[in-house]
A and B are shown apart, each in its own frame.
Chain A
Amino acid sequence: MEVILLFVMVLGLLLIGVPIAVSLGLSSMIFLLAFSDTSLASVAQSLYQAMAGHYTLLAIPFFILASSFMSTGGVATRIVRFSIACVGHMHGGLAIAGVFACMIFAALSGSSPATVVAIGTIVIAAMKKVGYSKDFAAGVICNAGTLGILIPPSIVMVVYASATDVSVGRMFLAGVIPGLLAGTMLMLAIYIIARIKKLPKGEWAGWGEIWNSFKDAFWGLMLIVIIMVGIYGIPGITGAIFTPTEAAAVASVYAFFVASFIYRDMGPLRNSDERISLLRKPQAVVTAFFHKDTRATLFDAGKLTIMLMFIIANALILKHVLTDEQIPQQIANAMLSAGFGKIMFLVMVNVILLIGGQFMEPSGLIVIVAPLVFPIAIELGVDPIHLGIIMVVNMEIGMITPPVGLNLFVTSGVAGMPMMAVVRAAAPFLAILFVFLILITYVPIISTYLPTSLMGPEIITN
């Protein structure tokens, strides 16, 4: 079948070191030119419309920007302090605090690598200082960072919702319980390892420190409230205020505001270690928007957006070519006539995603795989929200497995370790994620309970 040729071409190009986006795009163009009548102009159209025609994907730059402002602006530091105050005194306390901090940051940020960068830079160094091995520290953070895409908001969920037309708000709700569960499983595992290996525990700093660190982190934590209330409203008081995409933009503006005017860890009101009062420098209200820190944060977020969207856009070109050749129907018909049941289907989805996740960046992979498996899932009566969460958990695993693993890349950078060392360090915790994946796959209610009870069952309107 010609489509096998297409995927072999993608893989071949990937393996000789062609950028992922180009591997996808070039294979699609060659396939299109060789096997159909559709013009090259349609490829250019798809590339442009990947951005201009996908309202949902617009959340990606905004969630990335919000994360950038929060890491540059000192929100992450304060979250770590609060986490240490809460759980630092337990066995393996600093490691548990690291996971806890990743969970909190994940509730503010839509991306896993961003979570690793924000929390990892602080926690890994701190863990080494009190006597943990660097491997252990890196392994913990590399894994806990993957929660960034499971705990809402999440870029990968946004991409899934965009590819399948399910509601972003519902997907976000669906991630809450699985996210808390995965985080708890990780913390529990650390606690057990800590008891066995006699890992260091911190001092109990008292309720006062919890209160003080909470107060200090308050403005950062408020963002969780703003996002949740904004998207879902408060029953009886206000309806929702914005769509999930707008929520991301509001989060960016809020994070910019907190970083520049409240924490003053960046922007015109910071003078090395000194914090200048706005009253003494009122012009900062205007200059903050043009300050070099603001510009640098915007640029960093822009660069990351471009890197991700280049891949997603080319994945969309590949998807367009597959649709143009009616491949999804053929695959769906083949699978349905083979008589697969629900369980067998879900196992296959997991296998496809786990293999694909080795080579692909998560969002790009979802763009390609979701349209292939979604119609079959609906036909077999799989809940579309459940399917989405399964995909997200698979993507988490893909992020910490070589050769392409975004979290591995950034952890190796943040911890100053060779990539293969991070792979080995992350492996024991990877086992936990696998157990978690099995749990999520076979117990759909973990994912569907919250969205169904709060918003009613998902309807397929197509």
Chain B
Amino acid sequence: ACDDGEMVIKFSHVTNTDKHPKGIAASLFMERVNAEMDGKVCVEVYPNSTLYNDDQVLEAMLQGDVQMAAPSLSKFETFTKIYRIFDLPFMFKNMDAVEEFQQSEVGQDMKEAMVRRGLLGLGFWHNGLKQFSANKPLVAPTDAAGLKFRVQPSDVLVAQMEALDASPQPMSFSEVYGALQTGVVDGQENTWSNIYGQKFFEVQDGITETNHGLLDYMVVTSVDWWEGLDADIREQLSTIMSEVTTERNAAIAEVDMENRQAVLDAGGVIRELDAEQRQAWVDVMKPVWAQFEGDVGADNIAAAQEINAKH
């Protein structure tokens, strides 16, 4: 608990504190601030949606009831459409490309895309690339046709599933395991750490390693609150945040591979695609880009592809 006289920063998120990449990063941020800024600032982490879920937390932040959160990028739709670039299928080849794009000038500017609506991005936190899973083998994109996939309710992801002739089903995250198990929905898309952490592999025929999309988070704070801080405190918080971000993002590839291995060790089936098979998925899903080019900017797509070409 915080001492009297310390400024309290409430950091609310929706995962555990010690296994999920976001939870680990938030805990690390808390530890470092509480040690290095002791007596001045104190971070309290509220994990597991105990205080707010991802949807309510942004309202609460604008209201001043919570100071930090790290929702996934698709939760910011109403603040800016520019983050749709991170949801577009096959936009990035691997996490190194994602990292380089986010560190580029274009990427860094994106942290300020929501300032006029009251939110400031403090950093991108990685979770990893998404894979498809279903209750039948998915090898060719046509295998997904006619299946019901749980997706986050975002326009890009809905369009992506429609491109596959699959039926997108909105569903709260906590319900997905039960729905996959009993067959209410047939499949889902997620990162290795979520597939392992939520045990989805137990109730699916297998996971197809498509690496087709990105699941990333943005640590955000309220512009009004942030600008009201003393300059030295703001600076110190910024520094700690960026060091924590660098440290945890650098570890993400390893975390991902550990979770992938854990799925295998637990008896899960993983299907790898060869270049030709993967290209078939790209051909079907990439046309979705055109639909959202106006939202994310053709020049931004070009910048991302230029970086992609290097990896």
A and B associate in one complex:
yes
* Inter-subunit contact B63/A240 (CB<8 Å): no
* Inter-subunit contact B181/A455 (CB<8 Å): yes
Q: Report the Cα distance A42→B16, complex, angstroms.
A: 24
* Neighbour of B184 across the interface among A38, A39, A56, A243, CB < 8 A: A243
* Inter-subunit contact B178/A168 (CB<8 Å): yes
* Inter-subunit contact A38/B65 (CB<8 Å): yes
* Inter-subunit contact B51/A240 (CB<8 Å): no
> Which residues of the other chain, A, contact B15 by a CB distance below 8 angstroms?
462
* Inter-subunit contact B55/A169 (CB<8 Å): no
Given known A-B contacts A55-B175, A323-B46, A461 and B182 have beta carbons under 8 A apart: no
> Which residues of the other chain, B, contact A55 by a CB distance below 8 angstroms?
172, 175
Given known A-B contacts A53-B55, A240-B184, A169 and B178 have beta carbons under 8 A apart: yes
* Inter-subunit contact A42/B183 (CB<8 Å): no
* Neighbour of A240 across the interface among B55, B183, B202, CB < 8 A: B183
One digit per residue, 1 when the CB lies within 8 angstroms of any chain A CB and 0 when it does not, for chain B 52-67 equals 0101100110011100
Given known A-B contacts A53-B53, A167-B177, A242-B184, A42 and B198 have beta carbons under 8 A apart: no
Within residues 1 to 20 of chain B, which ones have a CB less than 8 A from any CB in chain A? 1, 8, 15-16
Could you give 14 example pairs across A and B, Cβ below 8 Å? A39-B64, A41-B63, A41-B65, A45-B59, A45-B60, A167-B177, A168-B178, A240-B183, A243-B171, A243-B178, A323-B50, A461-B198, A461-B199, A462-B48
User: How many Å from the CB of A135 to the closest CB on chain B?
Assistant: 44
Q: Report the Cα distance A37→B178, complex, angstroms.
A: 38
* Inter-subunit contact B182/A42 (CB<8 Å): no
Report if A371 contacts B (CB, 8 A): yes
Report if A233 contacts B (CB, 8 A): yes
Report if A18 contacts B (CB, 8 A): no
User: Contact size class for B?
Assistant: 20 to 34
Within residues 413 to 462 of chain A, which ones have a CB less than 8 A from any CB in chain B? 455-456, 459, 461-462
> Which residues of the other chain, A, contact B78 by a CB distance below 8 angstroms?
none
Within residues 1 to 55 of chain A, which ones have a CB less than 8 A from any CB in chain B? 37-39, 41-42, 45, 49, 53, 55
> Which residues of the other chain, A, contact B198 by a CB distance below 8 angstroms?
461
User: How many Å from the CB of B78 to the closest CB on chain A?
Assistant: 16
* Inter-subunit contact B16/A53 (CB<8 Å): no
Report if A283 contacts B (CB, 8 A): no
User: How many Å from the CB of B94 to the closest CB on chain A?
Assistant: 27
Q: Report the Cα distance A298→B141, complex, angstroms.
A: 46
Closest to A238 in B: B183
Report if A337 contacts B (CB, 8 A): no
> Which residues of the other chain, B, contact A243 by a CB distance below 8 angstroms?
171, 175, 178-179, 184
Closest to A243 in B: B184
Report if B44 contacts A (CB, 8 A): yes
* Inter-subunit contact A239/B199 (CB<8 Å): no
* Inter-subunit contact B16/A462 (CB<8 Å): yes
* Inter-subunit contact A239/B184 (CB<8 Å): yes
Given known A-B contacts A41-B63, A239-B183, A167 and B178 have beta carbons under 8 A apart: yes
Report if B174 contacts A (CB, 8 A): yes
* Neighbour of B51 across the interface among A239, A241, A320, CB < 8 A: A320
Within residues 164 to 203 of chain A, which ones have a CB less than 8 A from any CB in chain B? 165, 167-170
> Which residues of the other chain, B, contact A240 by a CB distance below 8 angstroms?
179, 182-184
Q: Which of B8, B44, B181, B197 has the most CB of A within 10 A?
A: B181
* Inter-subunit contact B63/A42 (CB<8 Å): yes
Report if A232 contacts B (CB, 8 A): yes
Q: Report the Cα distance A122→B51, complex, angstroms.
A: 46
* Inter-subunit contact B175/A371 (CB<8 Å): no
User: How many Å from the CB of A102 to the closest CB on chain B?
Assistant: 28
Closest to B174 in A: A165
One digit per residue, 1 when the CB lies within 8 angstroms of any chain B CB and 0 when it does not, for chain A 342-371 equals 000000000000000000000000000001
> Which residues of the other chain, B, contact A241 by a CB distance below 8 angstroms?
184
> Which residues of the other chain, A, contact B47 by a CB distance below 8 angstroms?
462
Within residues 241 to 256 of chain A, which ones have a CB less than 8 A from any CB in chain B? 241-243
* Inter-subunit contact B182/A232 (CB<8 Å): yes
Closest to A328 in B: B50
Closest to A324 in B: B51
> Which residues of the other chain, B, contact A53 by a CB distance below 8 angstroms?
53, 55-56
Q: Report the Cα distance A37→B174, complex, angstroms.
A: 30
One digit per residue, 1 when the CB lies within 8 angstroms of any chain B CB and 0 when it does not, for chain A 64-103 equals 0000000000000000000000000000000000000000
**13 additional contacts, CB 8 Å, given A42-B63, A240-B183, A323-B46?**
A41-B63, A45-B56, A53-B55, A165-B174, A167-B178, A168-B178, A231-B182, A240-B179, A240-B182, A243-B171, A323-B50, A326-B1, A371-B50
Q: Report the Cα distance A371→B197, complex, angstroms.
A: 21
* Inter-subunit contact B56/A461 (CB<8 Å): no
Within residues 117 to 139 of chain B, which ones have a CB less than 8 A from any CB in chain A? 135
* Inter-subunit contact A461/B197 (CB<8 Å): yes
Closest to B49 in A: A165
Q: Which 10 A-B pairs have the closest CB atoms?
A: A239-B183, A240-B182, A167-B178, A42-B65, A462-B48, A55-B172, A165-B174, A240-B183, A38-B65, A323-B50
Q: Report the Cα distance A242→B178, complex, angstroms.
A: 11
User: How many Å from the CB of A48 to the closest CB on chain B?
Assistant: 10
User: How many Å from the CB of A56 to the closest CB on chain B?
Assistant: 8
Closest to B15 in A: A462
> Which residues of the other chain, B, contact A455 by a CB distance below 8 angstroms?
181
Q: Report the Cα distance A233→B183, complex, angstroms.
A: 8
Within residues 159 to 191 of chain B, which ones have a CB less than 8 A from any CB in chain A? 171-172, 174-175, 177-179, 181-184
Q: Report the Cα distance A167→B203, complex, angstroms.
A: 14
> Which residues of the other chain, B, contact A371 by a CB distance below 8 angstroms?
50
Q: Report the Cα distance A231→B16, complex, angstroms.
A: 28
User: How many Å from the CB of A167 to the closest CB on chain B?
Assistant: 5
Q: Report the Cα distance A168→B15, complex, angstroms.
A: 20
Q: Report the Cα distance A21→B236, complex, angstroms.
A: 45
* Inter-subunit contact A169/B182 (CB<8 Å): yes
Q: Report the Cα distance A53→B174, complex, angstroms.
A: 13
User: How many Å from the CB of B83 to the closest CB on chain A?
Assistant: 23
> Which residues of the other chain, A, contact B182 by a CB distance below 8 angstroms?
169, 231-233, 239-240
> Which residues of the other chain, B, contact A41 by a CB distance below 8 angstroms?
63, 65
* Inter-subunit contact A456/B202 (CB<8 Å): yes
One digit per residue, 1 when the CB lies within 8 angstroms of any chain A CB and 0 when it does not, for chain B 16-49 equals 1000000000000000000000000000101110
Within residues 222 to 276 of chain B, which ones have a CB less than 8 A from any CB in chain A? none
> Which residues of the other chain, A, contact B8 by a CB distance below 8 angstroms?
37
Closest to A231 in B: B182
Q: Report the Cα distance A328→B44, complex, angstroms.
A: 14
Q: Which of A240, A241, A455 has the most CB of B within 10 A?
A: A240
User: How many Å from the CB of B180 to the closest CB on chain A?
Assistant: 10
Closest to B178 in A: A167
Closest to B181 in A: A455
User: How many Å from the CB of A257 to the closest CB on chain B?
Assistant: 22
> Which residues of the other chain, B, contact A39 by a CB distance below 8 angstroms?
63-65
Q: Report the Cα distance A90→B60, complex, angstroms.
A: 62
* Neighbour of B199 across the interface among A231, A328, A459, CB < 8 A: A459
User: How many Å from the CB of A359 to the closest CB on chain B?
Assistant: 25
Q: Report the Cα distance A165→B175, complex, angstroms.
A: 9
